[in-house]
Amino acid sequence: MDTKSQPKVIIFTTPTCSFCNSAKRYFREKNIRFTEVDVSRDPKAAMDMQRRTGQTGVPVILINNRPIVGFDVPKINSMLNIK
């Protein structure tokens, strides 16, 4: 993926979340840059995530500030234009 045109990707995670680890691995395999936010260490980020999505569970992925709750590959691919 061309990094110049890549949307901003943020993933809210916890260290013990298997779906979070799968999502991060997926992004790495697709060469998608992302910023990881560990909500178990950052209570403000956890509150921000909950405010944006109504969710307390992770992963929550923001692509250009549009939330995806969970590791939803079809939705991720659609939002990132991955075939």
> How does pLDDT run along the chain (83 residues), one tens digit per residue?
444 578 999 999 999 999 999 999 999 999 999 999 999 999 999 999 999 899 899 999 999 999 999 999 999 999 999 87
Taking phi over 0 as left and psi of -120 to 50 as alpha, with beta for the rest, 62 belongs to beta
pLDDT score at 83: 79
pLDDT at residue 3, rounded to an integer: 47
State the pTM of this model: 0.90
**Cβ atoms < 10 Å from Cβ of 8:** 11
Query: What's the pLDDT score for residue 15?
Result: 95
Residue 4: its pLDDT value, please?
Answer: 59
